[in-house]
Amino acid sequence: MEFNDNDVSSNIEDRRGFGPVGMGVGGLGLGGIAILIIGALLGVDPASLLNAVEQTQPPPQAQVQSHEGAPQDAPGHFAGQVLRSTERVWGQIFQQSGSQYRPPTLVLYDNATPSACGMGRAAMGPFYCPNDEKVYLDVSFFRDLQTRFHVPGNFPEAYVVAHEVGHHVQKLTGTFERAQGAGRAGAHGASSTSVRMELQADCYAGVWAHHAGEGMARISDQDIEQGLDATAAIGDDRLQRESQGYVAPDSFTHGTSAQRVRWFKRGIEAGDPGNCDTFSASPL
């Protein structure tokens, strides 16, 4: 994947090199850290666990430092280009529906950093925090895509950013609020709200790819195949089978490999967020 210009989003906080300010044993405490570790081993979504553990704790108040200007290193620069393309795509889509898109901020960090959803850690993988409308990314995850998940190319890296931005779209369109209001936001399982939220974000990432490939970037068939390989590699069933030797659908948080591929392809083919209604879909 190559972008047709060198434009990088200005909505970036590059905290790399400053360290996890105010971390200590974390705003979580030792018990919270233990829960996160156990949950990760069982294949439970760390971001949802983090939110549940820290609901009774105030968000960290530490002041964080960040580099000014666009990232100059290759991974940071590429992430900034992807973010800029999502701003253009979703800006146009929102405008067509008579509303205004409010872009999220991309936070690049090393190892750990405070967020309004608690202490973010690289082991959690990329995540979106609706409380501060920021996407958190330790770019070492890009390396993990190739070494751990065996997915080459840079399009899977773009998919990761676009997926998290998809969660921001859910925040802006009220999906987060509706899920929380129904009391189902933290539920797990093969047909749970959590899975439907994640599959919709996959579809939204596909919507981004559809429009980005129409003039903002050169996206080849090989790029698309690599993106589909990435979605398959991080399906709940595959990750659980690799980590614990069996599949436990009751603990699904993101959907199976087949589901993630199907919804991502649906977004790419249609380019219409209206086709991403995972909440009415049966079966998923």
The two tokens of residue 115 are: 């967020």
The CB density around residue 276, as the number of other CB atoms within 10 Å, is 24
Residue 183, pLDDT > 80, answer: no
% of the chain beyond a pLDDT of 70: 82
The CB density around residue 91, as the number of other CB atoms within 10 Å, is 14
> What per-residue confidence (pLDDT) applies to 56?
41
Query: Do residues 230 and 156 make contact, with C-beta atoms less than 8 angstroms apart?
Result: yes
> Where are the extended beta strands (E) located within the chain?
2-3, 12-14, 105-108, 112-115, 118-121, 127-129, 134-137, 217-218
> What per-residue confidence (pLDDT) applies to 100?
97
**Distant-in-sequence, close-in-space partners of 64: CB < 8 Å, separation ≥ 6:** 13, 15, 18, 21, 113, 114
What is the tens place of the pLDDT at every residue in 65-99? Answer: 999 888 999 999 999 999 999 999 999 999 999 99
End-to-end CA distance of the chain: 29
CA–CA distance, 169 with 148 (Å, rounded to integer): 29
Query: Do residues 104 and 133 make contact, with C-beta atoms less than 8 angstroms apart?
Result: yes
> What per-residue confidence (pLDDT) applies to 25?
38
Length reported for the chain: 284
**What's the rounded mean pLDDT across residues 113-133?**
95
Residue 261, pLDDT > 80, answer: yes
Q: What is the DSSP string of 108-137?
A: E-SSEEEEBTEEEEGGG-SEEETTTTEEEE
Maximum Cα interatomic distance, the chain, rounded to a whole number of Å: 49
CA–CA distance, 95 with 236 (Å, rounded to integer): 35
DSSP bridge partners of 106: 12, 135
> What per-residue confidence (pLDDT) applies to 220?
96
What is the tens place of the pLDDT at every residue in 132-163? Answer: 999 999 999 999 999 988 999 999 999 999 99
Residue 38, pLDDT > 90, answer: no
Query: Do residues 12 and 105 make contact, with C-beta atoms less than 8 angstroms apart?
Result: yes
> What per-residue confidence (pLDDT) applies to 26?
40
The CB density around residue 238, as the number of other CB atoms within 10 Å, is 17
Global pTM?
0.85
CA 105 → CA 60, 89, 112, 193, 275, distances in Å?
A: 18, 16, 17, 25, 26
The two tokens of residue 116 are: 């309004």
247 phi and psi angles, rounded to 5 deg:
-110, 135
The CB density around residue 70, as the number of other CB atoms within 10 Å, is 17
Q: Please, what is the average pLDDT of the chain?
A: 87
> What per-residue confidence (pLDDT) applies to 47?
55
Residue 113, pLDDT > 80, answer: yes
